[in-house]
Amino acid sequence: MNLAYYYARLNATKKENSRVVTFKSRARKDDPASRLGNVMVDFRFPTPPDLRSVGKRMSRERYQRGSLKKIGKTRKMWRGRWHVYIRQSDGSEKLCKRERVLGTATELTKAQAQEKLDALIRTATSQISSDIPPDPTFAEVWNRYATLKAATWSTATRKAVTSVFASRSKDRLSVLTLIGSRRVRELTRDPLQTLINQMAERGDSYSAVRKAKTYLAAALEYAHDERIIADNPARKLELPSQRLRKPCERYYSLDEVHRLMREAHGREHLVLRIFLNCGLRPGELFALREDDVQPGQLRVDEAVKETERGNRRIGETKTTGSMAYVGVSTGLQQEIEIWIQARRQQRPYHASTSNTVSDLLFATEAGTTFRLGHYLKRHLKPLAKRVGISDMTYQALRRTCATHFQKHGKPRDIQAQLRHTKLEMTGRYVKEIPDQVRIAVESMDRELCDGTAHEGPLQ
C-alpha cells in the first residue's frame, strides 16, 4: 500500500482524534499490497500538548546586575538592590528582594559601587533552602526570622530584642517562654493581645512592650509571606496605653541649668554645654573629632557603639538622617578651640600611661572613647548631686535642649538641631514650660476678653 496516499488523507483524520478510518485503496501493478482491497487504517493521535505549559520547567537565568541609586538628602549614599530565589520546603521557589547601603557617594564611584554590589550578588544568590517545618511552632518561626534579620540588626538592636523574646530571667518570662511552644496556625489575636496586656501589667517598660508588639507582627508577617499562615493575627494589636508605665518627661529648669554650669569646670563644662546647646546623643558627642569642628557648626557623622569592641566601637549614627550638621554659638566654638589647644599640651595623669595621640575631641588617656555609662556615673552624676540634681541622665539633657529651644526658634528649627526625620518625634522631646504656658494664657485672655469684664455683683 502506497504511504503517499495516506498522507493525502491526513487532514481528514486530524479532526477525528481517535476515530478508525476505513477507505478503499487503488490497486497498482507494482505494489502487491495494493491488491488487498479495503484497508482499515488506525489514525489515533495523542492529545495535543498545552502550549501554555511549554517552558515552565526551564531553568531560570541566575545572572543579574542589580540596581544602584543615590539616596540621602544631606549625605549621598549608594544603595544597591537585587533579588534571590528561596527554595521552599515543597520544592517551589520564592522571589525575595534584598537591598543594602554600599557606601557614601564621595568615597565610591559608581563603578566601585557596582563592584561591591556584584560581590554581594555572587554571595547572596546561591540557592537558599527554608529550614521551617510544615507545621512550625512560634519559636521555630521566630528563630528563622531572627536568623534572616541578624545581618541587618546592630548589636544593640539584637540584644534589646533578645531581652524581650528570649530572656532567661525567672522574674519576667520572655515572649518565647509564654507562647513559643504554640503552633503558629493556632495563634489568634486574642492570646497575642493578652500577652501584650500582661507585659504592661507586670511593669515592663514602654520600650519593651512596644518591641514585643512590633516584632510579633514582623515575625508573623514573615510566616504569612512564607504561606505558613493565611493571615497575620498580630496586624491589629494595640498598645495598652492605660496600663503602661508613663515615660519619663524630666527636663532641667533654667535655675538647675545655671547651677549645673556654675559648678562644672574644664572638660565637664564643655561636655554639658554641647549637650545643652546642640542636643547631641551621648554616642555622637564622644565620637566627635577635631576635624568635625567647623566655623559655626559641628559635623555629626559617627557614633560610639557601646556594645561593640575594637575597630567596630565607632560606627554609623543611629539613622541616616542623624548624619548632619548642628549649629554652635560663637562662645561655644571659642571654648571648643581653647579645649583643643589645652588637650594637646595636657600630660597624662598616670605616669605609666603613654601620651597617645588621638584626634577624638574627648578621649581617654589611652586615646580611646569613653564608656558612656561610665562617664555618666563617674563624672556627670556626682557633679549634678552637688547642686541638688539627683536624676542626671543623657536623655534629660537632650530633652532640656529641645524644651528651652522653643523659646528661641520654631518647631522646624528644633527638628533640624535634633536631626529628627519626623516632626512628630521632635514633639516628644519638647515639653511645656509652666511659666510660659501661664504667660500665654494671660496674653490670650487680654486679647480676647479685655474690656468685657462684667461690672457689679453677679446675678
The dihedrals phi and psi of 160, each to the nearest 5 degrees, come to: -65, -45
The answer on pLDDT for 6 being more than 70 is: no
The highest-confidence range among 1-10, 327-336, 422-431, by mean pLDDT, is: 327-336
Segment 204-211 mean pLDDT: 88
For residue 41, what is the DSSP state? E
One domain, residues 261 and 373: yes
Rounded Cα–Cα distance for residues 32 and 37 (Å): 11
One domain, residues 411 and 269: yes
The reply to whether 199 falls in a domain is yes
The reply to whether 455 falls in a domain is no
pLDDT of residue 59: 45
Segment 407-423 mean pLDDT: 82
One domain, residues 426 and 398: yes
What CATH number did the domain enclosing 292 receive? 1.10.443.10
Determine if residue 236 is left, alpha or beta; phi over 0 gives left, psi from -120 to 50 gives alpha, anything else beta: alpha
In the structure, what pLDDT confidence band is assigned to residue 383 with cuts at 50, 70 and 90? very high
Rounded Cα–Cα distance for residues 403 and 240 (Å): 28
One domain, residues 372 and 409: yes
The reply to whether 83 falls in a domain is yes
The answer on pLDDT for 69 being more than 60 is: yes
C-alpha to C-alpha distances, 56 to 50, 94, 129, 252, nearest whole angstrom: 11, 15, 21, 68
The reply to whether 270 falls in a domain is yes
One domain, residues 111 and 145: no
- pLDDT tens digits for 34-47? 454 554 545 444 55
One domain, residues 160 and 123: no
In the structure, what pLDDT confidence band is assigned to residue 10 with cuts at 50, 70 and 90? low
The reply to whether 404 falls in a domain is yes
Provide the grid cell at 238.
494595640
Q: Name the residue range of residue 102's domain.
A: 67-129
- pLDDT tens digits for 85-98? 777 767 777 888 88
The reply to whether 424 falls in a domain is yes
For residue 231, what is the DSSP state? S
One domain, residues 283 and 428: yes
The reply to whether 231 falls in a domain is no
pLDDT of residue 416: 83
One domain, residues 73 and 23: no
Rounded Cα–Cα distance for residues 84 and 125 (Å): 5
pLDDT of residue 268: 93
One domain, residues 408 and 337: yes
One domain, residues 97 and 35: no
The reply to whether 86 falls in a domain is yes
60-69, 281-290, 386-395, range with the lowest pLDDT: 60-69
pLDDT of residue 349: 54
Residues whose CB is less than 8 angstroms from the CB of residue 29 and which lie 6 or more positions away in sequence, other chains included:
none
Segment 336-361 mean pLDDT: 73
The answer on pLDDT for 228 being more than 60 is: yes
pLDDT of residue 78: 92
Nearest Cα to Cα of residue 376 among 358, 397, 361:
397
Domain count, the chain: 4
One domain, residues 304 and 375: yes
The answer on pLDDT for 140 being more than 70 is: yes
67 and 79 in contact (C-beta within 8 Å)?
no
Please give the share of the chain, as a percent, with pLDDT higher than 90. Answer: 29
One domain, residues 265 and 329: yes
